[in-house]
Every structure is written in structure tokens, then in C-alpha cells.
Amino acid sequence: MDAYIFPGQGAQFSGMGKELYDSSIEANNLFEEADRLLGFSISTMMFGGSDEELKQTKVTQPAVFLHSVILAKTLGEGFRPDMVAGHSLGELSALTAVGALSFADGLLLVSKRALAMQKACEAAPSTMAAIIGLDDKVVEEVCQDIEGVVAANYNSPGQLVISGSIEGVDAACELLKQRGAKRALRLAVSGAFHSPFMEPAKQELEKAIRSTAFNKPICPVYQNATAKASTDPETIKNNLIAQLTSPVRWVECVNNMVTDGATTFTEVGPGNVLQGLVSKINKTVTTAKA
């Protein structure tokens, strides 16, 4: 069975989407629609913007979403997923690609999500760090002892991202190095995503999600907050709202997809980070790039 997976923030690069724009009339039209919907030329930033411009959350999230969704749409009959999942922001790309959201609604939700998260980051300085080479339980134990620090992204065995206050994350990194972490690296992000620091953004986004029409997707969507498959629009909405302050359960998502029959994982969008994570989670499956 074919699983399609959609990357999150951090996969962006200058020039992204240009090939699609140049080679497909459908892509051309969708990029132009995106520029109109957002009220600025995101296509110009994607095709020729600097790395700094692309790092702005209000640009990054719509850019990664557009690259992924437009690529999926241009695959036509070649896009026949039995199941999908997206990492963090990628969940909205996945939902749009399989028809749970219209292109316009998906893009506008991503834009609102990005602005709400940016506002939350500015209101309370916070950060994230990648912890490499430790058992999840050890990382969780250390986080429990430090106020305001939580496990945020279960990316692959031995790679867990923590999230929280700057002082708390720095303290956790020191303790985790003492406990045997190979690396404990602060990430170049603007705030503590997938943690209680995102509560104001969650409340803001909830209003937007509740007032957006969701359809039944063409296949099951494995969601970050629960790692379970869903096709029910109401369940999908609830999990999407929970996602901002909940950990990304990527290891569980992939394992559950494999249990349910996935043998090939195709990454749709910029970069190949998810292919690498899937290969570390399960060595028996095939990974590919759309």
C-alpha cells in the first residue's frame, strides 16, 4: 500500500516550486491564486527570495504548504494514496492534498496558523532543541523535572525534539548531555512549537478551524496528536486544533501506517527529511520522492 507524507517547516529553500511553475499550467494558476489569496507575491519569495526571507514564519509555512500541495495536484493520476500523514505543518498539506480542505481554505488556514504562532513566539520568548542518541524515556524524565519544558517531536528512535522556555531548554540540554546524549542542539526556530507556549495560537486557530468547511478525505489521514487514522471531519478538526500544543507523534504515525499495510512512503514537497526519518523508524519499507 502507498503512503504519502508531507514535510513541515524547515524544508524550505530558495527556488522552491519554480520548476513546477515553469512546467505546469495548473501549477502556474495555483501559484497565481495563492498570491491573490495571501495579498502578497509569495511565489516571488519562493522562486527567488533569500534564505532570510524564507525563514519568516509567515512566509515559511505557506511556502512549504504550496510546494507540497501543488506538487501533489500536478501528479494527477499518479497521486493515489492509500493513506497520508504530514509532519506538523505538513498535516495541513496532507489534508488539502486528499480533499479534506479546499486549496483556498487550506492556504488561508496555514497563513492564519503561521501568524498566530509568530504572535505567540513574540509574546513569550521560547525555543526548541534536538536531542540525539538517548532513549525517549530518559528525555521525558528530564523534561518532567524542568518546569516549562516538554517533549515536542518524536521524530525517530533516538531523535526527540524538546520545547519550552529558553532557560529551561538550555538546562535540559546540559542535563541530557550528562545523561549520555550524543548531541543536544538548540534549533534555529522562533519559539517553542508543540508546547503549552502555543496556547494563545491554538485558541486563535481554533476559531478559524471551527468556521472552515472540512470534507471527508479520499483516504485515512494519520494525525500528529493521536498517531491514529481518521476520515471523520469533526475528529480531524479536533486533532488539528490539539496539534499546536501536543507533541508530533511521528514514530507512532509511521509504525501505525506500516501496521495498517503501508509498504512505500513517498515524500511530497521540499527536501527529503521525512524519507530519512521513515528509514530510521522501519528498515523494511521503501521510501521515494514525488
Average pLDDT over residues 77-104: 97
- 8 A C-beta contact, residue 18 and residue 63: no
Q: Residue 259: which pLDDT band, with cuts at 50, 70 and 90? A: very high
Report residue 280's pLDDT band, with 50, 70 and 90 as the boundaries. very high
11 pLDDT more than 90: no
Active site amino acids: 88, 194
The domains of the chain are located at 2-122+196-289, 126-186
- Which grid cell is 183? 548531541
- Whether 2-122+196-289 and 126-186 share one fold: the answer is no
Q: What percent of the chain has pLDDT over 70?
A: 100
Whole-prediction pTM value?
Answer: 0.96
pLDDT at 10: 85
Q: What is the pLDDT of residues 225-245, one digit of tens each?
A: 999 999 999 999 999 999 999
Of 120, 64, 54, nearest to 88 by C-alpha is: 64
Q: What is the pLDDT of residue 208?
A: 96
Mean pLDDT taken over the chain? 95
Q: In CATH, what class is 126-186?
A: alpha beta
Mean per-residue pLDDT for 188-204?
93
Q: What is the pLDDT of residues 198-218, one digit of tens each?
A: 999 999 999 999 999 999 999
Fold (CATH) for 2-122+196-289: Malonyl-Coenzyme A Acyl Carrier Protein; domain 2 (3.40.366)
Confidence of residue 58 (pLDDT cuts 50, 70, 90): confident
Average pLDDT over residues 18-36: 96
